[in-house]
């Protein structure tokens, strides 16, 4: 008999495993960019003039977002000032949204530039915004890098989308 109390269920993880074997040249950010009729399916929260905001399907915490330019570009030095400015303006806007809607108390923000720096998608620059709360780390993170995400991605998306509509 299986003891379900000793298992950690993460059914969304299979999607992550499958996408690791996607053919090169396939970029989930570009697919989301090119399919506006599938924004909810792709968890694309916001479309700006040059950049978009998408929820991370494999988050470190609830509300983990990616801000990405529409241009499939990995070199920050080749990006226009206009795109870089919009990236930072969206960071400010999303920080406020996360504070307001899910009461985030702090943030880790970063860019992984190049594969050796940890970029899981090294060909398309994107910025991570990871919401944090006092006491949000526990023994689970120490246990084989396990994270507990307390809310379904669909529910987080709908809350944040509604929050964006209220601030527009």
Which tops the pLDDT comparison, 18 or 44?
44
Which tops the pLDDT comparison, 54 or 23?
54
At residue 55, φ and ψ (nearest 5 deg) are -70, 140
Task: State pLDDT tens for residues 25-40.
Answer: 579 999 999 999 999 9
Q: Please work out, in degrees rounded to the nearest 5, the angle formed at the alpha carbon of residue 120 by the alpha carbons of 127 and 6.
A: 105
In this structure, are residues 157 and 44 in contact, taking their beta carbons and an 8 Å threshold?
Answer: no
In this structure, are residues 68 and 46 in contact, taking their beta carbons and an 8 Å threshold?
Answer: no
CATH no. of 4-167? 3.30.428.10
Note if the pTM is more than 0.85: no
58 pLDDT higher than 60: yes
């Amino acid at each position: 008999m299986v003891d379900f109390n000793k298992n950690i269920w993460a059914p969304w993880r299979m999607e992550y495993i499958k996408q690791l074997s996607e053919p090169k040249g396939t970029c989930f950010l570009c697919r989301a960019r090119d399919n506006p009729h599938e924004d909810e399916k792709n968890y694309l929260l916001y479309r700006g003039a040059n950049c978009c905001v998408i929820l991370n399907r494999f988050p470190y915490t609830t509300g983990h977002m990616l801000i990405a330019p529409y241009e499939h570009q990995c070199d920050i030095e080749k990006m226009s000032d206009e795109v870089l400015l919009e990236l930072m303006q969206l960071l400010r806007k999303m920080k406020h949204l996360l504070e307001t809607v899910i009461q985030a108390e702090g943030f880790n923000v970063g860019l992984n530039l190049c594969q050796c720096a940890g970029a899981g998608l090294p060909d398309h620059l994107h910025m991570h915004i990871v919401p944090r709360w006092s006491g949000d780390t526990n023994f689970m993170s120490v246990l084989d890098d396990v994270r507990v995400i307390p809310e379904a991605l669909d529910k987080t998306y709908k809350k944040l989308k509604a929050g964006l509509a209220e601030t527009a």
